[in-house]
Structures are given as structure tokens and as C-alpha cells.
Amino acid sequence: LQGIFVLGLPYALLHSGYSGLFLIILAAALCCYTGKILIACLYEENEDGQLIRVRDTYEDIANACCKKLFPKLGGIVVNVTQMMELIMTCILYMVVSGNLLSHSFPSVPVTEKTWSVIAFVTLLPCVFIKTLKIVSKLSQLCSLVHFVIILVMMTYCLTQTHQWSWAKFRLSIEFEDFLVSVGVIIFSYTSQIFLPTLEGNMKNPEEFRCMLNWTHFFACVLKSAFALSAFLTWGKETKEVITDNLPSFLQGLVNLCLLTKALLSYPLPFFAATEIAFACISRGNHPRYRSRLFAMSVRGSLLLLTLLMAMFVPHFALLMGLTGSVTGAAMTFLLPSLFHLKLKWKKLAFLEKCADISVFILGFLCSLAGIVCSIKGLLEVFG
């Protein structure tokens, strides 16, 4: 929940003013809610009224919703959507790593693409990752690095409090700029793809809802404090990635921390993507699909795919925005609310139905707006 997107939040406040702070809080509440209803779809009541986990994955939920008309269609749509978002996320980390390396060592006569290859080499051990436990340890290190970055940023901003002025906040905003801010803020909270696996691996799954409440609450507080202090420090000079505003003596340190964070962030979406790939490939349960060599081949192929796309796809940032608008909104808002309505309709109270329908409509509008802005950007680039 505290990913690289956080570094774009001060820029989002620049374009959304006071409404941006409200959006940070609203997005936390909505993403927390859709996370809960998604996990609720994994369970059904037995004859004694006890909740039993009858499904394991996002795909299982989709198949349960479509079983009467198209038994496998829902799972295929969900798997394709998840794979697109996960692979795009992995590629983004690869692109960011190459970019940060080139900025950290400007005197080295090496192109950004070559730096991406060097980042790829450091990620090769990912082909040996077999369990979520290893990924969780890497993610823990990633969180520690992230807090170092935030600590450096916040400390510097607090030394500049004499420059702070609430007059920097705007009340009037342009609609298109506001839509960009909505995308950055909402997608800084997305985690729904990982939740079924995460809940299934918890020692005490009954604590999932409590965990979700606290993590989203603290994420909201940290995002608000970080975005607000950084924006009040630089005002209209706030850049898209806030670390670019730092003085040069701090930029080098923060860039190296960001590089470490990007490399440590890579294994989580990569692991999730390989798990989906294995689930799709090994449906026939053939013995060769369970061999160690085959598993490493699949992981190696996905790793190489992310490198090739990072190096050779032009205007990747705009394509990422377009894909994220479709897949991110679908996985975070549209599908959880739709599946919850489909599977739990008879047991839902009127207000719960209204909440699910409202989230679905909001997700559709966010997705549509994001698609329009991304396509407009692509058309301007291709001129």
C-alpha cells in the first residue's frame, strides 16, 4: 500500500487542491471495502451457519459467478486481466530501475537500456522463488527502505516549515488535471490482486478484516502527511516525482534507496504472475508440469519478457496508464462489487447493495476517464 505511487501524491495535490486530501481518505475507505467484499466471496455458509472457505482464488470467484452460462469465461477474463496488470507492474519496476541507475551514475557512459539489463541480472534469483514466505521477507525489506525514503523526505520538509503556506492550495481545479490526480491517488492503494493469496496464507485468517482496517488507516495517515508536507514545501514547483525536488546532496541517497525499493518490489507481482501462469498451464496435471526445470523455465521466460518490453516498447508510461485504467479499475472496483452482488445478493441488506452498486458506478467512471486521458496522451505523442 506504500508503493512508488506515493511519490506522485504531492503532484496529485498540486492538481486537485483540497479535494485531493479528501480523495486520499475516500480511496482508502473504498479500497478497504472492496478488499473485504472480495474475500467474503471466497466463503459460503454451511448447514450450521458457519462460514467455510470454498474458493481459493480470484479466478474461482469469477467462475462461480459465470458457471450457469459460461463456466470458464469469468476465470479466463480475470486471469488475463491479472496477468496484464502484474506483468505491466514488473515492467514498470524494470524501467524505473534503469532510469534510477542512469540518474545515480550520470558520469558512467552507459545507456538507460543497458542499465535495465544490469537491473535484470540482479533480479535473476527470482527464478528460484517458490513460496510466498520468501517474497514476504523481501517485501519487509522493501518496506524498511520505503520508510527511510519517507523519513528523509519528511525530515527535509519539516526543516522548511517557515516556507509553508496554506495559500498554495487551490480551490478551483481543471477537470482533466483532477482526473490525473484521481488515477494516482486511487491506484496507490490497490492490492486486491494479492488479497485472496494473502488471506489464504495467514496463520489467523479471521483477523483479515482487522488487518485490512489498520493497514489502510495507517496508509491513509502516512500518505496524507507525506503529500501535504511535500506540497506545502514546494508549492507550484512540485514535480511529478517529488524526489526530483530534493537538493542534489540528498537526491543521490534517495535515488539509491528508490532503486533498492524498486528491485525489492519486483518479486511480489512477479511471484503472483508465475502462480497464475502455473495454475493455467498445469490444469492437465501432467507430471512434467510439476518438474523443477519446467518451473524455472516459466519463471525465466516471464523475467525475460519484462526486460524485453521495458527496453523496446515505446511510450511505455502512456501504455501503462491506459492498461492501468482498464485493469486497475476492473480489479479494484468493478469486479469485486459485481461478484459480491452476484454471489451474495439474497443475503445483502439494502444499504450493502447500494454500496456495491455505487462502487461499481464509481469504478466504471474512473476507468472511462482514465482511458480517455491515456488515449488522448497517446494520440498527442503519435501526432
Q: What is the pLDDT of residues 194-244, one digit of tens each?
A: 888 889 888 899 999 999 999 999 999 989 999 999 988 988 888 877 888
How many whole angstroms separate alpha carbon 292 and alpha carbon 61?
Answer: 29
Distance CA 13, CA 21 (A): 7
Using CA atoms in the order 313, 318, 319, 322, what is the torsion angle rounded to 10 degrees?
Answer: 180
Query: 3-state DSSP: the chain helix, strand, coil percent, rounded to 5?
Result: 80, 0, 20
Percentage of residues in the chain having pLDDT higher than 90? 21
Q: How far apart (Å, rounded) are the C-alpha atoms in residues 383 and 378? A: 8
pLDDT score of 65: 86
Residue 34: is its pLDDT beyond 90?
A: yes
Domains detected in the chain = 5-382 (1.20.1740.10)
Band (383; pLDDT cuts 50, 70, 90):
low
Q: Tens digits of per-residue pLDDT, 345-379?
A: 988 999 999 999 999 998 888 778 777 777 777 77
At residue 133, the pLDDT reads: 84
Question: What gap in Å lies between CA 46 and CA 39, rounded to an integer?
Answer: 17
Across the chain, mean pLDDT equals: 84
Degrees, nearest 5: CA angle 282-288-289 = 25
pLDDT value of position 45: 86
Residue 94 has what pLDDT?
A: 87
Contacts of 37 (CB under 8 A, 6+ apart): 336, 337, 340, 356
Decide if pLDDT at 159 tops 80: yes
Q: What distance in Å separates the CA atoms of residue 262 and residue 96, rounded to the nearest whole number? A: 7
